[in-house]
């Protein structure tokens, strides 16, 4: 017990002694540096807090040669200037007896009607009336039955022409009887063809000329291939009932037949034709749709030019002008190409100036060599004379005999 009591009193004493030594050391250091610190504090206004926690500006920075370079903020790239927006073309007030063009279909037909409004904005004799249903198609006839609806629309609007653009929503299963058939299966395709035929027949029964505008390419390749198959069905349905199919495919693909977001507009200038989803049309794309439809539509309406007014009937009793005589047809002679060496052109069998071939003389050395294979006898002294001893030419020998040579002593 005495030993424990001594230990208990020894430890506090040691702690007190250690603290006293520490305080003495701090006091001596403060006394040694007091004049300099006081002077510095007086000149700079330091306090104890400043000594313990120096401000950022008073911290010692490393030399510049070992400092890490701070990344500079990246300069923003200047945006390309946007092309100026095309001025809106005001739509002229239509005449009371203006011809009505009825545009029907899905959301693509609504964009086509917008483009046709611009195309015929200055034509007071043509009014564009759109009766589209954005989510409709031939598959969901329970939602919107186009073969039935087109009859009432024609009776209500009494159009001079109907423009159809329909089918972009039809890539979905179709209920045939009690079975849901998958898109483009054999049964699905037969039923789809039947419904498009019924739609074309309904327009033909109303005795209204119509144009069926085909589908364009889309960003999704599977959707693009389906649209190609649908266009074949639409073409057959239109042409079998007296309509005209308008093919717009080449206007929205590149030279390889692939989907493009941007391309030439109706003036050949590069513009954005499609929206970011790869489905909808931009304003320029809608105008391009109308550009393909405009010419056949004017033909149906009997217009000569985009800005002309639809002809109206002459009032009763007005003098009727005689129609201008039709211009004489230009006859083009399309002669089939011929060969200059063809002797049958003049009914003969030989070319002009031809004569019988010359008969060869079998006694000539050349003929004997070609026909009989016998070479002519070589003349004495010629290069091909291989006789031994060499033969002498009599004429050459006589010439040598008559020649004398002078010998000088």
Residue 92, pLDDT score = 86
Cβ(259)–Cβ(278) below 8 Å? yes
Instruction: Give the mean pLDDT of the chain.
Output: 79
The answer to pTM > 0.75 is no
Cβ(251)–Cβ(217) below 8 Å? no
Least confident of 107-116, 139-148, 348-357: 348-357
DSSP 330-365: PP---PPP--TT-GGGGT-SS-TT--PPPPP-TTSH
User: Per residue in 147-197, pLDDT tens?
Assistant: 999 999 999 999 999 999 999 999 999 999 999 999 999 999 999 999 999
Look up tokens 């007190």; give the residue.
16
Residues linked to residue 211 through DSSP beta bridges, in sequence order = 163, 244
How far is it, in rounded angstroms, from Cα 165 to Cα 168?
Answer: 9
Least confident of 104-108, 146-150, 312-316: 312-316
How far is it, in rounded angstroms, from Cα 333 to Cα 335?
Answer: 6
CA 325 from chain center: how many Å?
46
How far is it, in rounded angstroms, from Cα 116 to Cα 277?
Answer: 23
Return the number of other C-beta atoms located less than 10 Å from residue 280's C-beta.
Answer: 15
User: Per residue in 327-373, pLDDT tens?
Assistant: 555 555 555 555 555 555 555 666 666 767 777 777 777 777 777 77
Residue 311, pLDDT score = 44
Q: At what angle do helices 186-205 and 146-157 cross, to 10 degrees?
A: 20
Residue 187 tokens read as: 């049964």
How far is it, in rounded angstroms, from Cα 310 to Cα 299?
Answer: 11
Mean pLDDT of the 40-44 span: 53
Nearest to 166 by CA among 126, 191, 188, 139: 139
Long-range contacts of 7-12 (CB under 8 A, 24+ apart): none
């Amino acid at each position: 017990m005495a030993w424990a009591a001594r230990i208990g009193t020894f430890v506090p004493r040691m702690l007190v002694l250690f603290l006293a030594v520490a305080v003495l050391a701090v006091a001596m250091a403060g006394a040694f540096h007091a004049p300099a610190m006081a002077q510095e504090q007086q000149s700079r206004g330091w306090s104890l807090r400043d000594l313990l926690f120096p401000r950022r500006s008073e911290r010692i920075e490393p030399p510049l040669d070992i400092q890490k370079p701070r990344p500079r903020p990246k300069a923003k790239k200047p945006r390309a200037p946007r092309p100026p927006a095309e001025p809106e073309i005001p739509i002229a007030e239509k005449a009371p007896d203006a011809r009505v063009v009825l545009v029907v279909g899905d959301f693509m037909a609504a964009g086509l009607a917008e483009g046709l409004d611009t195309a015929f904005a200055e034509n007071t004799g043509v009014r564009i009336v759109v009766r589209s249903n954005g989510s409709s198609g031939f598959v969901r006839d329970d939602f919107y039955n186009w073969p039935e609806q087109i009859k009432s629309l024609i009776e209500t609007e009494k159009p001079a022409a109907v423009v159809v653009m329909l089918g972009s929503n039809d890539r979905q299963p179709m209920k045939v009887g009690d079975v849901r058939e998958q898109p483009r299966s054999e049964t699905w395709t037969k039923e789809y063809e039947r419904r498009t035929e019924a739609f074309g027949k309904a327009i033909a029964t109303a005795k209204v000329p119509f144009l069926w505008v085909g589908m364009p390419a889309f960003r999704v390749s599977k959707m693009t291939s389906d649209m190609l198959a649908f266009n074949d069905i639409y073409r057959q349905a239109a042409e079998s009932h007296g309509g005209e199919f308008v093919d717009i495919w080449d206007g929205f693909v590149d030279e390889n037949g692939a989907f493009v977001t941007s391309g030439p507009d109706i003036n050949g200038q590069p513009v954005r034709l499609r929206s970011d989803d790869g489905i909808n049309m931009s304003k320029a794309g809608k105008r391009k749709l109308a550009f393909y439809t405009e010419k056949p539509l004017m033909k149906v309406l009997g217009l000569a030019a985009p800005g002309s007014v639809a002809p109206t009937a002459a009032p009763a009793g007005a003098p009727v002008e005689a129609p201008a005589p039709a211009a004489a047809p230009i006859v083009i002679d399309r002669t089939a190409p011929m060969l200059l060496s063809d002797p049958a052109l003049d009914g003969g069998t030989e070319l002009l100036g031809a004569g019988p071939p010359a008969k060869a003389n079998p006694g000539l050395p050349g003929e004997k060599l070609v026909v009989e294979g016998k070479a002519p006898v070589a003349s004495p002294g010629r290069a091909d004379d291989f006789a031994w001893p060499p033969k002498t030419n009599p004429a050459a020998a006589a010439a040598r005999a008559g020649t004398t040579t002078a010998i000088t002593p």
